[in-house]
Structure 1
Amino acid sequence: MADSPPRIVRPLSPHLQIYRPLFTMMMSIVHRITGCALYFGTALLVWWLLAAAASPTAYALFANVAGSWIGRLVLLGYTWALLHHAMGGIRHFIWDSIHGFGPKERLLYAQASLAGSIILTILVWVIGLAVKA
């Protein structure tokens, strides 16, 4: 048998315990988390549509669950996750056009996506509650 070359000892890649958490890093992680939350939260939309198509009793059950305080809290979180993920998508779309790669621009876009998602969530809920009343 031929002798194999000696194994090269390479340094290990640093992980989260080495890096100082940056705002842009946290927003990247939150973007992934909201994507997963939207995957599971879509079951709420399916339940709503199936309940509306099935019977008044099924829709009443959904309305009771969604209208409870915990149901509204989940819907509020789903609304924020949807808008935050969309704002992150807009940020990525800007990057796809080869703009905003500087450190100041990255931080500004990350802050804008967080602030925009919070403001839009409040706006959607205020309008929704005003229309309902």
Structure 2
Amino acid sequence: MTDQAKKRPEFRNINVFSDLPTYRLPWAGKVSILHRISGMLMFILLPFVFWMFDTSLSSEISFATFKGAFNEGLGFVPGWLIKLATLGLIWGYLHHLCAGIRHILVDMNHERITKQWGASSAIAVLVVSLGLTIVLGAKLFGLY
């Protein structure tokens, strides 16, 4: 290393409050973190998924309760909050699916992956998952 070359900073103890806000995470890193968050969100909302599945298929009366929960609410929980939780679940599933496909492609072609491909595929995952979430969210909230 020459004297003129700038030495990279060394972090031995990373301070969450001072170091992390200045760290620029690449798009691939952001998508990877969101992949983990979406998996955790789907796991946490699993009882809600089971409730939706059971209530929608048990009988005609339970299906009416299911529809009423989305329209008027259920007990002290307003309908918009149930729709918002469902929208979060939709985003979690779609993002986890798209990012999972990206991770599989990276694992299959890891010798040929470049930084440019990693960044562009990560942005594509975000665009596709958010676009599909907007389309399904519009349907969920009755916009079409």
Tell me whether the two structures share a fold, i.e. TM-score over 0.5: yes
Paired residue total: 122
Change (3 A) 1:123 1:52: closer
Query: TM-score, with normalisation over the residues of structure 2?
Result: 0.68
Q: Aligned residue for 1:103?
A: 115
2:91 to 74, 80, 88: 80
The separation in 2 between residues aligned to 1:27 and 1:16, in whole angstroms, is 23
Distance in structure 1 (CA, Å) of the matches to 2:106 and 2:15: 24
> TM-score scaled by structure 1?
0.72
Instruction: Give the counterpart letter for 1:117 in structure 2.
Output: S
Q: Give the structure with higher Rg (CA).
A: 1
Q: Which moved more, 1:23-32 or 1:76-85?
A: 23-32
- Shift of residue 47, structure 1, vs aligned partner: 0.3
Displacement of 1:76 after TM fit?
1.1
Q: Could you list the per-position Cα deviations for residues 47-105 of structure 1 after superposition, in whole angstroms to 9, with x for gaps in the alignment?
A: 02222344544443333333311111111111111101111001101112115631111
Q: Among all aligned residue pairs of Structure 1 and Structure 2, give the percentage whose two residues are the same amino acid.
A: 26
Show the counterpart of 1:119.
131
- Structure with more helix by fraction: 1
In the TM superposition, 1:1-133 aligns within 5 A as 15=14, 17=16, 18=19, 20-22=23-25, 23-67=27-71, 68-99=79-110, 101-126=113-138
C-alpha distance in structure 2 between counterparts of 1:14 and 1:108, whole Å: 32
For 1:12 and 1:107, how far apart are their aligned partners in 2? Answer: 25
SS state at 1:21 partner: coil
Give the 3 Å change call, closer, same or farther, for CA 56–15 of structure 1 in structure 2.
farther
- Partners of 1:34 and 1:85 within 8 A in 2: yes
Q: Does the 8 Å contact 2:35/2:96 carry over to 1?
A: yes
- Letter of the structure 1 residue corresponding to residue 134 of structure 2: I
Q: Following TM superposition, by how much is the alpha carbon of 1:124 offset from its aligned partner in structure 2, in angstroms?
A: 2.6
